[in-house]
Structure 1
Amino acid sequence: MYVVIGGAGMMGLGLAQQLLKQGHTVAIIDIDPLACRFAREKIGVMAFEGSAVSTTVLLEAGIRQANAVVAALRDDALNLALVTLSRSYGISHIAVRMRDREFLEAYRLAQASHIISTVDLAVATMANAIEYPEVESMMHFEQGQVEVLKLPVPNGCYAAGHTVAQIAQDPRFPTGSLIIGYQCHSRANLEIPNGNTVLEAGSTILVVTRPESVHPMIDFLGIEASHLPTREVSHPNL
């Protein structure tokens, strides 16, 4: 796949490196000559110096041959322009990094295929990491409408020793949730479970659920919230 990335900031460069490792061909565009040089010499991708919302630069970067475009520029107005230009060149697979949620509807109208709010993702992940340190990772998709949780199966919880089918039929199991992955121990491969898969205590599961079901799911598994001791903060007299 040929991917054009607008923006050689930390996200653009990190994504370019990851896509290159996965075997894709990547071109990155940025107005900063040092960032372009870094992309070429340190990451090994094609880099084009100039504005990612310039038709001349986009054509030079091969926008007509691209299979996908990523808009990871420094502000939403530029990203929106890149999404619109990409559509005009017939690109259907366009991912955009959204900084300000006020641009959400504009991105939708411009027909961005994937809108990713890095701020919302970071805030939600950090908040849940503080409250539930046992939850190893959390991701959300479709502007937070769907959550993917990686959860431990504690000793003594109802899920331990029961099959996936039995758990799904339990009225306490949050409606609309689905167990999509199972790892019996930390060194085991992640498996796709079926109804007969028995969850062992100490194992890990991947669950798809809705945001309103995150806490009920955690409660169902018996994972306790972190109750950190409150520290008194003294303020010196000014």
Structure 2
Amino acid sequence: MNIMIVGAGFTGIQLARRLINEKNTVTLIDNDADVVSHASNRLDCAVYEADGNNLENLEELGLSKIDALVTVTSSDEINMITCSLVDAVYPDILKIARVRNYAYYVNKTSATEHHAETFSGKHRPLYGIDFMIHPDVEAARAIVSAVEHGAVTDVVSFGKDEEFELSAIQIEKESSLDGMALRNIRNITEKKVIVVYVETEEGASLPAGDTVLHAGDRIGVLSARDDVKSVLEICGTKIETLKKIALVGAGRIGTIVADHIVQHGKNSVLKKLFGGVRNFSQDFVIIDTDKEACKAASERYPKAKVFCGDATDESFIQEEQIGKFNLVISATHNHEMNMVICAYLESLGVEKSIALVSHSGFIPITRKLGVEVAVPLRDTVVDSIMSHLRGKSVTGIHTICNGELEIVECDLNSKSSVNGKTLKDVAMPGEYLMLLVKKNGSEMYELPHGDTVFAAGDHLVLAVKSGNKRVLEKFSGE
């Protein structure tokens, strides 16, 4: 693909780097000379100093030849206006805008939902933006997913009813997996599992049958959702029921997370965790230092207990007995402090923690601090954008292992070179690992085997090394 990115900040550079690694043609634009110089020294692509909201400038830089436009400047208005300008003249170009103003995101989302019939036809998308990405929404979704899975590990779910899960688990010293070759795992469990990757201090890899596991290794295990508990126990991970949750941070992300946790519908997170809300104010508390944020939270969640206090104040923590909670979620705007809060509260007795961090570079640090789950804000945005840039056949993408590997969901179309072939016929050892197949017409995923035959319309889930465009082209046919 030929992609133009307007905005060469952290997100723009990270996005460009991943697209370049996949052999895409990338043009990066920013109106700040220093930012342009910084990006030019770090990327192997065309980087220009220009105003991204000037259509003539974009046309001079090859706008008419691109397949997609991504706007990630620090200004929501410029991101939206640039997409609208381009859409007016080049409607066939895919346009993606990142916005931080929640009102813009809500307006577009609600308008699209309420007038779905209009926007599903030939009518142009609202503001001329095909996909609007909001960092807080993406991060909040990741946090809620971690809560729903008990905050034991990073989890990626598959299927309408989440029938399969890929869990990132650390092998403990007392685990029976310590010193075991992968091919021998079937000797200690009857559960059908696939070890998708092995992550050590040297990096991540797609394993083979003779790969030997060691205590301290972090592995990705795919299994049926009902079997996850058994898999965790084999790895030596203790399973604790979450009965009391503390949310630190009543800002935008905290509010979105709290909305999901305290909703009173059938899918309420609390009902999933506790089997029904008992003494709600004791089960879920919200902590923030900002009085206005606390007042708003109290009005929004009348059945939750809201504290206006400092989560690093030991006397406050002891007085309110926060150390007895099962889980703390730190989702303040201070990402470094989130790590400190989680580590501190775990030292006082909290069993598990989830920290919002700025990017995946902090994940190794959070692990050393004992934080169970770290949600990298900027990486969730890049992942979301990438999933829309992979072509129509690619329906989802999840970056894992510090960006070294990707879990890709894609549909087989009629042009795919694997149609009519079996998995063993198209195997590429070390290049990819086929995880799940949903046959055309079926609602359920199944674990594939060597004789699984691929056909157009099948939906696949596979693990690949980041940037391996050859594998994606092989299956997607694009």
> When the two structures are superposed, what TM-score results if normalisation uses the length of structure 2?
0.40
- SS of the residue aligned with 1:109? helix
- The answer as to whether partners of 1:153 and 1:203 remain within 8 angstroms in 2 is yes
Q: Which has the larger radius of gyration?
A: 2
| Aligned position for 2:377 | 118
| Aligned position for 1:179 | 435
**Match of residue 93, structure 1, among 352, 357, 367:** 352
**Match of residue 189, structure 1, among 443, 448, 470:** 443
One-letter identity of the residue aligned with 1:189: E
1:201 and 2:456 aligned = yes
Q: 1:135 to 1:189 in 2, by over 3 A?
A: same
> What whole-Å deviation, never above 9, does each CA across 1:13-60 have from its counterpart, x for those lacking one?
222232341224432211223333443443453322222222244345
| Aligned position for 1:231 | none
1:135 and 2:423 aligned = no
1:157 and 2:416 aligned = yes
Q: 1:159 to 1:46 in 2, by over 3 A?
A: farther
| Aligned position for 2:293 | 35
| Aligned position for 2:253 | 11
- SS of the residue aligned with 1:35? helix
- SS of the residue aligned with 1:159? coil
1:209 Cα shift?
3.2
Q: Within 1, Cα distance between the matches of 2:439 and 2:322?
A: 41
Q: Within 1, Cα distance between the matches of 2:353 and 2:404?
A: 19
Q: 1:184 to 1:55 in 2, by over 3 A?
A: farther
> What whole-Å deviation, never above 9, does each CA across 1:163-206 have from its counterpart, x for those lacking one?
xxx32552447634232352635xx5342334265444123222
- The answer as to whether partners of 2:386 and 2:397 remain within 8 angstroms in 1 is no
| Aligned position for 1:227 | none
- SS of the residue aligned with 1:221? helix
Q: Within 1, Cα distance between the matches of 2:351 and 2:424?
A: 37
1:100 Cα shift?
5.1
- SS of the residue aligned with 1:160? coil
- SS of the residue aligned with 1:79? helix
Q: 1:168 to 1:8 in 2, by over 3 A?
A: farther
Gaps of 5+ in 1: 225-238
| Aligned position for 1:63 | 322
One-letter identity of the residue aligned with 2:284: V
| Aligned position for 1:222 | 476
One-letter identity of the residue aligned with 1:35: A
**Match of residue 147, structure 1, among 385, 401, 406:** 406
- The answer as to whether partners of 2:323 and 2:346 remain within 8 angstroms in 1 is no
Provide the alpha-carbon RMSD of the alignment: 2.9
- The answer as to whether partners of 1:48 and 1:57 remain within 8 angstroms in 2 is no
One-letter identity of the residue aligned with 2:366: Y
Q: Within 1, Cα distance between the matches of 2:384 and 2:298?
A: 32
- The answer as to whether partners of 2:432 and 2:471 remain within 8 angstroms in 1 is no
- The answer as to whether partners of 2:287 and 2:311 remain within 8 angstroms in 1 is yes
Q: Within 1, Cα distance between the matches of 2:298 and 2:471?
A: 45
1:147 Cα shift?
2.3
- The answer as to whether partners of 1:172 and 1:220 remain within 8 angstroms in 2 is no
> When the two structures are superposed, what TM-score results if normalisation uses the length of structure 1?
0.75
Q: Within 2, Cα distance between the matches of 1:117 and 1:38?
A: 26
Aligned residue-pair number: 218
**Match of residue 465, structure 2, among 197, 202, 210:** 210
- SS of the residue aligned with 2:403? coil
1:47 and 2:306 aligned = yes
Gaps of 5+ in 2: 1-241, 263-267, 274-282
Q: Within 1, Cα distance between the matches of 2:400 and 2:457?
A: 27
Q: Within 2, Cα distance between the matches of 1:60 and 1:210?
A: 49
Q: Within 2, Cα distance between the matches of 1:183 and 1:15?
A: 34
Q: Within 2, Cα distance between the matches of 1:93 and 1:66?
A: 9
Q: Within 2, Cα distance between the matches of 1:147 and 1:47?
A: 39
One-letter identity of the residue aligned with 1:85: Y
> What whole-Å deviation, never above 9, does each CA across 1:184-237 have from its counterpart, x for those lacking one?
35xx53423342654441232222333244x2331121342xxxxxxxxxxxxx
One-letter identity of the residue aligned with 2:345: S
